[in-house]
Amino acid sequence: MDNNRTKREIIQLVESRRITSEEGFQRLKELRRKQADVQTAGKRERLFFSPVWQESIPGSIEKSASIAGNVLIFADNKASIAGISEKLKGDSGGSNIRIVSVFAGEKYEKRDTDTFAINPKSRDDYRSLFTTLRKDRGVPGHILHLRSKDPFESDESLIKKQMGISFFSVFHLCQELLEQKIQGTIQILYFYSGSTEKRQPLFSALSGFFKALRMENPHVAGRTIALSDWNEIPEIVSDELKILNREDICYRDGKRLTLRLAEFHLETDAPKSMLFKQRGVYLITGGAGGLGLAISEHIVKQV
């Protein structure tokens, strides 16, 4: 619609006295309202974004020169650490890196110089661990969490177990890092079994936790990394510890994928499974805003 032409036509109608000035004013007012609706609709459409996995080539990403200092690894057994330790020490020449292993146990225990056991659910055990590390060779600059090899399960008892070894473990870990008031950036890489086809609620929550933590303390840089093949982990760890950005990652079929936001159109991109029930009741918080109104209109169109 050519708004300028329409305005001229209305003015001509008034000038030729084919309509009254009052009627012309009302038509111009209605024209302006329709124009505003079109502009607002366009803005609403651009407000929708959806997370999408996109290939990210490691060679094009900013990296640090090398890995040095202490690397703290939370794992289930020594076998899962052996390949990583060999790879990292090989890359660094073996002289500038120290691997500290932490396994699950009943309570805090220092088994040898570089091996500890803690109860993952015990806040005090994390305090004891970092107190010892600080007195010994210093707090690590890199932390790997490798205790989520089992895929996510929806069974309630299994969820509680997974929460203990994953979310609460990371929560207690980060609490201690903040209380230690450590200088410099500490990198946390959280690995779990996953894919791009299905988001896993527990690990998505961890991703959100890391983002919120970063806003509170930018010195703690946490990322989640989904793996389909854990045999690739030594090579992946070596690469990811050098990468400076803080995006969530998924490795699938030998490709490195990054989770990014892409524009999303409700009318064309929404999955067919997003069905709304006839005569259903839906609560939309913030419904008076532009986004709430757009979602309300979409639901009405579907039912």
pLDDT per position as a tens digit, 207-266: 888 988 888 888 888 999 988 888 888 888 888 888 877 788 888 888 888 888 877 776
Q: Which of 208, 193, 164, 174 is nearest to 251 (CA)?
A: 193
The residue whose two tokens read 């639901």 is 299
In which band, very low, low, confident or very high, does the pLDDT at 62 lie, cut at 50, 70 and 90?
Answer: low
| The pLDDT of residue 145 | 93
Q: Are residues 145 and 6 in the same domain?
A: no
Q: Both 140 and 208 in a single domain?
A: yes
pLDDT of residue 128: 94
- Pairing mode, if any, of strands 249-252 and 255-263? antiparallel
Give the percent of the chain with pLDDT over 90: 14
CB 202 within 8 A of CB 163: yes
Rounded to whole angstroms, the Cα distance separating 240 from 243 reads 5
| Cα(30)–Cα(25) distance, integer angstroms | 9
Q: Are 29 and 246 in contact (CB under 8 A)?
A: no
Q: Are 101 and 116 in contact (CB under 8 A)?
A: yes
Clarify whether residues 161 and 272 are in a common domain.
no
* Nearest of 250, 168, 257 to residue 206 by alpha carbon: 168
Rounded mean pLDDT, 167-184: 84
Residues of the chain with pLDDT > 70: what percent? Answer: 82
Token pair 């890359």 is found at 91
pLDDT at position 7: 78
| DSSP letter (8 states) at residue 286 | T
Rounded Cα distance between 158 and 75, Å, is 19
pTM of the predicted model, to two decimals? 0.71
- Please give the single-letter amino acid code of residue 255: K
> Is the model more confident about 177 or about 197?
177
Residues 6+ positions from 247 with CB-CB distance below 8 Å: 56, 223, 258, 259, 260
Instruction: Tell me: do 4 and 110 sit in the same domain.
Output: no
What's the chain's Rg over C-alpha atoms? 28
CATH number at residue 76: 3.40.50.720
My answer on whether 275 and 257 are in the same domain is no
How many domains is the chain partitioned into structurally? 3
Q: Are residues 82 and 154 in the same domain?
A: yes
Chain-wide mean pLDDT for the chain? 80
3-state secondary structure of 253: coil
Q: 26 with 117, same domain?
A: no
> Is residue 137 within 8 Å of residue 150, measured between CB atoms?
no
Cα 36 to chain centroid, rounded: 36
Residues 57 and 28 in one domain: no
CA 220 to chain centre: 15
Whether 184 and 37 share a structural domain: no
Which residues have C-beta within 8 Å of that of residue 132, sequence separation ≥ 6?
Answer: 110, 116
Whole-angstrom distance, CA of residue 257 vs CA of residue 36:
40
- With bands split at pLDDT 50, 70 and 90, how would you rate the model's confidence at 279? confident
280 shares a domain with 166: no
**137 and 80 together in one domain:** yes
**How far is 69 from 114, CA to CA, in rounded Å?**
13
What's the domain range around 278?
Answer: 265-303
How many C-beta atoms surround the C-beta of residue 204 within 10 A? Answer: 16
Same domain flag for 6 and 143:
no
With beta carbons less than 8 A apart as the criterion, state whether 302 and 275 touch. Answer: yes
Strands of 249-252's sheet in order across = 49-55, 255-263, 249-252, 220-227, 186-193, 142-148, 69-74, 97-104, 115-118, 109-112
Give the pLDDT band of residue 124 (cuts 50, 70, 90).
very high
Residue 143's pLDDT band, with cuts at 50, 70 and 90, is very high
